[in-house]
Amino acid sequence: MHSDFSSGPIAMWPDITPPVAPREDLNIEQLGRQRVDAYAWMKYIPPSGSRSLDSLPDRLRRHLDAEMKYAQGTLNPLRADARHFQERMSERASGSTDALPATFRGWRYDCTLPAGHTHRVFSRTKPDGTKQELVDEAARAQEVAYYRATDHQPSLDGRYFVWAEDVIGNDRHRICILDTDTGLIRTVVQADAFGYGGFTLCPSSRYLFWIWRDAFNRPTRLYRTPVDGGPEELVYEEHDPAIFMQVSRTAANGFVVLTLAGPDISEVYLVAAGSEAAAPRLVQARRRGTRYEVNEWNGALLMLTNADGAHDRKLLEIDPKSFNVCRERVPHRAGAFIIAIQPFANALVRIERVNTLHRLVLMHGDGTEVVVDFDEPAYTIQLVPSQPYDSSHVRIVHQTPASPPRWMDIDLVSGECSVVGQTHLNDFDSKAYRLERLYARAGDGASIPITVLSPAGTPADTPLPLLLTGYGAYGISSEPGFSLPATVLVDGGFHYAIAHVRGGSERGWHWYQDGCREKKRNSMTDFIDCARHLQDQGYAAEGKIVAHGISAGGLLVCGAMNIEPQRWAGVIAQVPFVDMLNTMSDADHPLVPLLRPDWGDPLSDPGAYDHIAAISPYENVRQADYPPVLCTAGLKDDRVPYWEPAKLVANIRHQSSNHEPAVLLLNPDSGHQESDDQDAEFAQMGLFWAFARHCVSAAGT
């Protein structure tokens, strides 16, 4: 186990003058309220196509060039330490596998990251050992600056293998199909497809159902395209910009399912197998406040829903012809949030969250149940996708922050578990880490879970530098899964902690509701309370905590920074959603109509305007001693555009009472996510860890 991190960073930040962004006051009047946006000029939306440095207005291009030069100069002294972290990650990962094995018609499908490679290879193997390579992503990525592929899936007849790939960085995909009989790869959708749950091969394997993104990058149309060639046909078009679309198959492959949903509304359409060219049938019309999902089990349809006050969801059985409710399969139980279901012929599997932790429940046709629990203080389990309906077992992935993913088969009758696959890492021993679940007390009495990963040999009350991360939005839980970079940070003498703040659903749906809209400030104060608790319990000394968050997690940590800037040794905000008031006032933004139930609508609701204005990180930068801040941005990002972190950084420099650096790290080739390349991922995380270590080092000088 490596633990020698002797090549530490320098004690002081370089004496480099940052760019000074011109302040051009734009007076905005909205709902009788007025505000001034001094950096609105940084926003640029091209008339067509995606952004590139060459296409920017001259003044903006010069400013972003200066930001990139400043970032390089400020971060260059950390590069040796960053490389040290990156090398540790690469050494550890070189023995790993990313396989999620699934079997179709005798083939075992695998996804691996071969030793020395930075991209995945997809293949399949017959029981006799015959192996066929399906996709080598390194070859696909050779001639493009950005590459990220997703949602790889075989057809049910085994002939085709399909996936979506983004070669620009703007989340607009093309869809490719491999004909395994001929070995030929065809691009069946050239552009503007939605890749994340946005396509599926139908049960007969004759058609690809796929979702198209409009000019605002919103998924709005469902098309059907013959896999053997031919024009696409429009199946459904959605005109409400507040609705999100996804398409899938039911577990028993009896239907193609189109799910239309927003944070507080949903609607489902079904296309029956054998009638795949027919018009989709509506299951239940959308109704504000009611969400539901549909699947299939042994001749009946299942509806997982929050209807009639079932906030943590209940499971209904409905008639496949009339869609009338037949009976209640699983009643609503407050505190037992149903996360997902997976039907099999022999049992209905569901994953629930009880007391913040996952459990697996096997329900048989007669209503009897077998509960499968795990005894770690913090862990996560996931269902392997696309499992055969007639399987005798369910395959899950189990992991903790201290133990890498392992694949387990659970017998659908008895619940007996067996480990069938394990991620193997070099120079790694899970016993070298101590995993704990702590609870902080919020100001209003709420108990906030914290997951902490520490060096095993360090007593719990020994202060170490600490990195605290969190998300807390959209009801998405910060699952305590395995992070190889986090283990390397802990090897370097840090505690690594996850704050499970309100806004996620770690304690059920009420946990989300207590951290959204007018209660969003709870997420930020929860994060501060977690930091305070960790300091009070001796895990970190004062001034030795670095905050980290991604996207809406960037809103979380930057909001917490504005409330208590002195608490943090540093803040790392990846593609952070920080220009909250201006973005939520932009009706043309791809996600704004969809996410109004989460944040509120400052265009029509004065109350929403006021509560957003009170917490928006950009709007609330103030005269104070700010910690060092590192913000990342992707120039082609449409979800959280580059100007959000650029404006925040400029405002911090303008307002801060000290001279700590505020850095904008801009990637001109990426969008909301970096390219799917292990070296690039580890290089970025190595730089983050070097920044964090330098922050706590500089804080002590």
On average, the pLDDT of the chain sits at: 94
Backbone angle region of 309, left / alpha / beta, with phi > 0 → left and psi within -120 to 50 → alpha: left
Range in 100-109, 131-140, 147-156, 160-169 the model is least confident about:
100-109
- At 423 the three-state DSSP class reads coil
What pLDDT is stored for residue 701 in this prediction? 55
Distance, in Å, from the CA atom of 579 to the CA atom of 616, rounded to the nearest integer, reads 6
Distance, in Å, from the CA atom of 231 to the CA atom of 415, rounded to the nearest integer, reads 47
Which pLDDT band holds residue 102 (cuts at 50, 70, 90)? low
DSSP 473: B
What pLDDT is stored for residue 255 in this prediction? 97
Q: What is the pLDDT of residues 163-182, one digit of tens each?
A: 999 999 988 999 999 999 99
pLDDT at 674 over 90: no
pLDDT at 109 over 90: no
Distance, in Å, from the CA atom of 387 to the CA atom of 253, rounded to the nearest integer, reads 11
One-character DSSP codes across 361-419:
EEE-TTS-EEEE---SSS-EEEEPSS--TT-SEEEEEEEETTEEEEEEEEETTT--EEE
Distance, in Å, from the CA atom of 110 to the CA atom of 651, rounded to the nearest integer, reads 48
What pLDDT is stored for residue 4 in this prediction? 43
What pLDDT is stored for residue 49 in this prediction? 79
Range in 166-175, 428-437, 487-496, 649-658 the model is least confident about:
166-175
- Parallel/antiparallel/unpaired status of strands 545-550 and 570-574: parallel
Q: What is the pLDDT of residues 528-575, one digit of tens each?
A: 999 999 999 999 999 999 999 999 999 999 999 999 999 999 999 999
Its pTM surpasses 0.75? yes
Q: What is the pLDDT of residues 616-644, one digit of tens each?
A: 999 999 999 999 999 999 999 999 999 99
Show the CA angle centred on residue 162, arms to residues 235 and 173, nearest 5°.
70
pLDDT at 285 over 60: yes
What pLDDT is stored for residue 7 in this prediction? 46
**Span 588-606, average pLDDT:** 94
Per cent of the chain over pLDDT 70 is 97
Amino acid in position 685: M
What pLDDT is stored for residue 675 in this prediction? 82
Among residues 22, 258, 150, the alpha carbon closest in space to that of 675 is found at 150
pLDDT at 275 over 60: yes
Sheet hosting strand 495-499, strand order edge to edge: 433-441, 447-455, 495-499, 466-470, 545-550, 570-574, 629-634, 662-667
All domains in the chain, ordered by first residue: 75-90+430-698 (3.40.50.1820), 96-249 (2.130.10.120)
Distance, in Å, from the CA atom of 642 to the CA atom of 648, rounded to the nearest integer, reads 10
Which pLDDT band holds residue 118 (cuts at 50, 70, 90)? confident
Q: What is the pLDDT of residues 407-449, one digit of tens each?
A: 999 999 999 999 998 898 999 999 999 999 999 999 999 999 9
What pLDDT is stored for residue 50 in this prediction? 82
pLDDT at 5 over 50: no
Which pLDDT band holds residue 236 (cuts at 50, 70, 90)? very high
Q: What is the pLDDT of residues 84-99, one digit of tens each?
A: 999 999 999 975 554 4
